[in-house]
Amino acid sequence: MPNISPIPAFQDNYIWLITNNNHAVVVDPGTAAPVERVLAERQLTLDAILITHHHHDHTGGVEALLARWPQARVYAPAAEPMPAANGIALHDGDKVSLPELALEIEVMAVPGHTLGHIAYYAAAQDQAAPGLPLLFCGDTLFSGGCGRLFEGTPAQMHHSLGRLARLPDQTRVYCTHEYTQSNLAFCHAVEPNNPELKKYLQNVAKLRQQGVPTLPSSIGLEKAVNVFLRAHLAGVRAAAQMHQGAELNEDIEVFAALRRWKDDF
């Protein structure tokens, strides 16, 4: 099965590197230089690039990588500007085959952060498949948080997160920013008595003190600690209502209030 490792970029981005033997695929390369350095150090061939959405810190390195690796396939959302002239446009439910990695991936439309945002999900083929299932979700789901609504609506993001929350609990979550510690501070403000959150806060603090990435997370963990996946719970609703100063009757209203609260947190 493929190996997955983060390539740090900019201030807090992770470009995910997926490898099998000497073959490599990268997810959301916002810049080319750190990717090229790792490829050279590990003597890897770049076979494909996966793009989740059009923001420059996720696509800025594509052109330079293709200049060095013109054979690399570029996959990107059909509903957003294509970062490569010969890129492969993807829609919800499409399948991406990465034979170099022995990996089959399903495309999931998850609008909210941007209108055409997609995620890449690899399901476990059988119980003997180590390391699966896994999810590359860009800026839709973060550990302890979710993306800002730059283009989409609260209803779109709430629906997208609901789709991700229905994936198997053991699904490993590879998002693209090291926002975990600050996200959990917000979650703690909403749910100060959540024991799983308290435990996770301590673990994350130790990891960051050591300079170690907090990712990947898992769907099961996020359902236990991430308030944006917990808008249906009475305690989360009560906290959102108190902050909003108004009654919130629907889960989507709670989610929208949480997102506004986090924007100013």
Residue 23 marked in a binding site: no
Rounded distance between C-alpha atoms, residue 107 and residue 93, angstroms:
5
Rounded distance between C-alpha atoms, residue 74 and residue 26, angstroms:
10
In the block, tokens 């609008």 appear at 111
Residue 55 marked in a binding site: yes
Residue 169 marked in a binding site: no
DSSP letter, residue 100: G
| Phi, psi for residue 68 in degrees, rounded to 5 | -90, -30
Report the candidate in 46, 47, 58, 50 with the shortest Cα–Cα distance to residue 9: 58
Residue 113 marked in a binding site: yes
| CB of 85 closer than 8 Å to CB of 60 | no
CB-based burial of residue 161 (10 Å sphere; 0-12 exposed, 13-18 middle, 19+ buried)? buried
Return the half-sphere exposure (C-beta side, CA atoms, 13 A cut-off) of residue 208: 13
How many residues in total does the chain contain?
265
How is residue 237 written in tokens?
């609703």
Residue 139 marked in a binding site: yes
Report the candidate in 200, 229, 230, 227 with the shortest Cα–Cα distance to residue 215: 200
Binding-site positions for Zn(2+): 53, 55, 57-58, 113, 139, 177
Binding-site positions: 53, 55, 57-58, 113, 139, 177
